[in-house]
C-alpha cells in the first residue's frame, strides 16, 4: 500500500516540491538582501538600545518600506488561499477520482478492505502534507527573520505563515476535500465544496476568535506614552507603547487598550493549529467511517 500511495500521488508530491523550490529561491534572494540591509542600517544596535538612538526611527522606516512589513493585501490574500489550495488539490481527487473513473471497482476488490485502503492512504498523504507545510513554514520563517525582529510575529500576514498554523490549515483543507470527494463523487465540485467552508472557518477564527484565545491584558496610557503610537504591532517608527515589540493590540479602550503580549505567540499557535487539526481529523475519520459503512 505504501508503494500504491506513492505511485498515485507522486505527481502531486513533485508539484509541491516545485512550489517549494520556487519559494526557496525567492526567499533566498529577498532574504539575503534583507539581511544585508539589516546590517547596513545598524538595526541590530537600534533594537538593542530600546527606545531609539538618533536616526533609528528613520532607519527602521526605510527598512520596513523597502521590504514591506505592513499588512499587504495582495500578499496576504495569496498567503490566505495557498494552504487551502494545496489541501483541496490533493484531497478532493483522492476518492473522487476513483469514483469518476470507475477504478474503485479495481482498487476495492483487491485483498485490502476499502476502509483500510483509505486509512493507509490518508496517513501517508497527510504525512507528506505535514512535510510540505513544515518546509514551507521553515523557508518563510528564515526569510522573515530580520523583519520579525522589528515587527514581532503577531501580525496577520506573519502569524498566518509561521509556527504551526500553515500546516494545520493545509491538513484541514485536505480533510474537508477528501470527505467532499466521497460525498460528491466528482473532483472539481468537491474542491469547491471543501474550499468555501475552509475559507469561511479560517477567516472567522482569524478575525473573531483569535483575538480572544486568551483573555487580553489591559494597558492604561500614562500622560505621554500613547501619543503618536499606533499602539500596534511593530516598532515601525516608534517602539510600541507597551514597550514590547510584537504586542498585539486587539481593541482600544477609553484610557488605553487591550492587547495580547508577544510572548503568547506559541500558545496561540498551538490553540489555532489544534482547532484545525481537530477539524481535519473529524473530516478524515468521517470519510473512513462512511466508506466502510456505505455501498459505493
Q: How far is CA 40 from CA 36, 134, 235, in A?
A: 6, 31, 18
Q: Find residue 259's DSSP bridge partners.
A: 217, 249
62/69 Cα distance (integer angstroms): 11
From 223, 262, 213, select the one nearest 240 (Cα to Cα). 262
Q: How far is the CB of 105 from another protein (least distance, A)?
A: 4
The bridge status of strand 217-220 relative to strand 248-252 is unpaired
Which H or E run includes 281? helix 265-293
Q: How far is CA 235 from CA 146, 163, 248, 250, in A?
A: 13, 21, 12, 16
From 223, 173, 181, 163, select the one nearest 199 (Cα to Cα). 173
Which H or E run includes 88? helix 73-101
* 8 Å CB contact between 143 and 30: yes
Of 114 and 264, which CB lies nearer to another protein in the complex structure? 114
Q: How far is the CB of 289 from another protein (least distance, A)?
A: 12
Of 51 and 292, which CB lies nearer to another protein in the complex structure? 292
Query: Applying CB under 8 A, which residues contact another protein?
Result: 1-4, 7-8, 101-106, 108-117, 292, 295-296
Q: How many CB atoms lie within 10 A of CB 271?
A: 17
* 8 Å CB contact between 246 and 233: yes
Of 82 and 115, which CB lies nearer to another protein in the complex structure? 115
Of 102 and 228, which CB lies nearer to another protein in the complex structure? 102
Of 111 and 224, which CB lies nearer to another protein in the complex structure? 111
Of 231 and 285, which CB lies nearer to another protein in the complex structure? 285
Q: Find residue 248's DSSP bridge partners.
A: 260
Of 10 and 40, which CB lies nearer to another protein in the complex structure? 10
Q: First-to-last CA distance in the chain?
A: 21
Q: How far is the CB of 80 from another protein (least distance, A)?
A: 32
Q: How far is the CB of 293 from another protein (least distance, A)?
A: 9
Q: How far is the CB of 284 from another protein (least distance, A)?
A: 18
Q: How far is the CB of 10 from another protein (least distance, A)?
A: 10
Of 115 and 123, which CB lies nearer to another protein in the complex structure? 115
Q: How far is the CB of 110 from another protein (least distance, A)?
A: 4
Polymer length in residues for the chain: 296
128/122 Cα distance (integer angstroms): 10
Q: How far is the CB of 161 from another protein (least distance, A)?
A: 34
Amino acid at each position: 500500500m505504501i508503494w500504491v500511495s506513492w505511485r498515485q500521488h507522486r505527481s502531486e508530491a513533485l508539484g509541491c516540491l516545485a512550489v517549494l523550490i520556487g519559494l526557496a529561491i525567492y526567499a533566498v534572494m529577498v532574504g539575503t538582501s534583507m539581511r544585508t540591509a539589516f546590517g547596513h542600517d545598524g538595526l541590530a544596535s537600534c533594537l538593542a538600545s530600546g527606545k531609539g538612538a538618533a536616526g533609528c526611527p528613520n532607519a527602521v522606516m526605510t527598512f520596513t518600506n523597502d521590504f514591506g512589513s505592513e499588512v499587504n493585501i495582495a500578499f496576504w490574500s495569496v498567503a490566505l488561499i495557498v494552504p487551502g489550495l494545496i489541501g483541496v488539490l490533493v484531497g478532493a481527487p483522492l476518492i473522487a477520482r476513483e469514483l469518476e473513473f470507475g477504478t474503485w471497482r479495481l482498487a476495492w476488490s483487491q485483498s485490502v478492505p476499502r476502509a483500510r485502503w483509505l486509512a493507509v492512504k490518508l496517513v501517508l498523504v497527510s504525512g507528506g502534507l505535514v512535510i510540505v507545510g513544515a518546509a514551507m513554514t521553515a523557508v518563510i520563517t528564515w526569510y522573515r527573520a530580520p523583519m520579525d525582529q522589528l515587527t514581532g510575529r503577531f501580525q496577520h500576514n506573519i502569524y498566518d505563515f509561521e509556527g504551526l498554523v500553515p500546516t494545520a490549515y493545509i491538513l484541514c483543507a485536505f480533510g474537508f476535500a477528501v470527505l467532499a470527494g466521497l460525498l460528491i463523487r466528482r473532483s472539481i465540485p468537491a474542491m469547491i465544496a471543501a474550499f468555501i467552508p475552509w475559507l469561511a472557518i479560517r477567516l472567522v477564527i482569524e478575525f473573531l476568535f483569535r483575538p480572544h484565545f486568551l483573555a487580553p491584558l489591559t494597558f492604561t496610557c500614562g500622560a505621554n506614552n500613547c501619543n503618536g503610537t499606533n499602539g500596534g504591532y511593530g516598532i515601525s517608527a516608534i517602539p510600541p507603547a507597551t514597550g514590547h515589540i510584537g504586542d498585539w493590540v486587539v481593541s482600544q479602550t477609553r484610557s488605553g487598550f487591550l492587547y495580547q503580549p508577544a510572548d503568547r505567540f506559541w500558545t496561540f499557535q498551538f490553540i489555532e493549529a489544534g482547532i484545525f487539526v481537530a477539524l481535519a481529523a473529524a473530516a478524515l475519520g468521517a470519510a473512513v467511517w462512511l466508506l466502510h459503512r456505505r455501498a459505493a
